[in-house]
Amino acid sequence: MPDAILLDRLRAAVDAAFDEEVRFLQELVRFPSLRGAEAPLQDWMHRQLGAWGYAMDRFSLADVPLASHPKAAPMVDADPARSVQVVAAHRAANPTGRSLILQGHIDVVPEGPAAMWTHPPYAGVVRDGWLYGRGAHDMKAGVAAMVFAMDAIRAAGLEPAADVYLQTVTEEESTGNGALATLLRGYRAEAALIPEPTGHTITRAQTGTVWFRLKVRGVPVHVMVAQDGTNAIMSAYALIQALYAHTKTLNQAARANAWYGAMQDPIKFNPGIIRGGDWASSTPAWCEVDCRIGLVPGTTPEEAMRAVEQVVKDAARGDAFLANNPPEVVFHGFQTDPYVLEPGSEAEAVLAAAHAAVHGGEMPARLSTAVNDTRYYGLYMGVPGLCYGPKGEGAHGFDERTSLADLKTCTLTIAAFIADWCGVREAG
């Protein structure tokens, strides 16, 4: 645990810079960093952190051999060359401590109808101790926390005694290829912390995720003779029903799962986007549905994908038209392994001590029914991937917001964690 004097120095530094941290987070929120449009924010981040003295690296997904990696996910609707990653390195002279990757995603999901928001989604409005906006909670607050945790160490007159990499990545909400790209670029450390907004809990396990697109055809006729055609939208609807039934079966089997057995319905299926048809008085000739399904530890994305294909095949067999015109299943994004952070790592113990020093008491654990990027570190790099961060609400919904009081305590917790994990020295 960081000693009391050191913690006081860090606390004073976090407090002194907190107004600046809030302004920094507002700036982050004001970039509508939707998929494919993250570069302006990444360019800004590159300039900011460069000005603060970090050694900077900026590269796109086209600059790394993504396609050759077995865990790269398909990017059907996005251009790798436009997907910019940024790494800011603190390189310690004669390192004596343990190295660390601090990573956050800066991509956000679409905000939906602006009229449904109390405050404009990209304004960064602060009201009654909350900062509002798309991404304020998931996870630009965490990005601000990790940047200002490092800044607090510097402002306290100290520096980490090991290499620390601050990484801002894209594609967390669609493939995970941004995080994977930093590995392919060569970045390594002895632990990774990703401050997703977990409300000061450690993520013990996460489910995997698979994205797929159903492409369904129909026979277009004038609706006055609808009986002579087929309706691709209604055919897609039948497939969606079959996939819900499949999910129910999967959740029954998940009751025996070592990690998720006690949770009601840990596997979530979601038809998230639907497109189709050309005219209200023509039976639709086509329909596409973008879907997402989860998978629990002990199963693989490949198994989940084969099962989806089978469900669609079986459902199509029962339909006269679809039996001869089988729907296509295109895997167009996430193909994510579930990940369990095995208890007992030294990195988790150090984080738990930092949490206890700031919040008092044990660091609670949670199970997530979605993915985060820690899996790359835990599964493919062999170091603990810690997912722990600030507190807010409304992820992917309206009036998304982060609690500023919790942002401050989280920043201090991360600073204390860095100080203890990496060690600190008086800055020269």
Strands (E), 110-236: 126-127, 130-132, 158-160, 164-169, 192-194, 202-206, 208-217
Report, in this order, helix, strand and coil percent for the chain, each rounded to 5. 40, 20, 40
CB of 388 to Zn ion, least distance (A): 13
Q: What are phi and psi of 108, to 5 degrees?
A: -125, 160
Rank residues 111 and 196 by Cβ distance to Zn ion and give the closer one: 196
Rank residues 250 and 410 by Cβ distance to Zn ion and give the closer one: 410
Rank residues 21 and 400 by Cβ distance to Zn ion and give the closer one: 400
Rank residues 208 and 220 by Cβ distance to Zn ion and give the closer one: 208
CB of 172 to Zn ion, least distance (A): 6
The verdict on whether omega for the bond into residue 146 sits within 30 degrees of 0, i.e. cis, is: no
Rank residues 53 and 110 by Cβ distance to Zn ion and give the closer one: 110
CB of 194 to Zn ion, least distance (A): 9
Question: Which DSSP symbol is given to 319?
Answer: S
Rank residues 107 and 290 by Cβ distance to Zn ion and give the closer one: 107
Does residue 283 contact residue 212 with C-beta atoms inside 8 Å?
no
CB of 420 to Zn ion, least distance (A): 25
CB of 322 to Zn ion, least distance (A): 37
Radius of gyration of the chain from its Cα atoms, rounded to whole angstroms: 23
Rank residues 321 and 398 by Cβ distance to Zn ion and give the closer one: 398
CA distances from 196 to 4, 373, 403 (A): 27, 9, 14
CB of 333 to Zn ion, least distance (A): 15
The binding site for Zn ion (CB under 5 A) comprises 138-139, 196
CB of 173 to Zn ion, least distance (A): 7
Residue at token pair 């159903």: 214
CB of 72 to Zn ion, least distance (A): 20
Rank residues 52 and 398 by Cβ distance to Zn ion and give the closer one: 398
Residue 360, burial from CB neighbour count under 10 angstroms (0-12, 13-18, 19+): exposed
**Angle at Cα 105 formed by Cα 104 and Cα 108, nearest 5°?**
145
Rank residues 1 and 395 by Cβ distance to Zn ion and give the closer one: 395
CA atoms within 13 A on the CB side of 219: 11
Residue at token pair 């998230």: 272
Alpha helix (H) ranges present in 267-403? 301-317, 320-324, 346-359, 375-380
Dist CA 80 CA 113 (whole Å) = 28
**Residues whose CB is less than 8 angstroms from the CB of residue 150 and which lie 6 or more positions away in sequence, other chains included:** 90, 102, 160, 164, 166, 415, 418
Instruction: Provide the terminal-to-terminal Cα distance of the chain, rounded to the nearest Å.
Output: 24
CB of 279 to Zn ion, least distance (A): 39
Q: In one letter, which amino acid is 70?
A: P
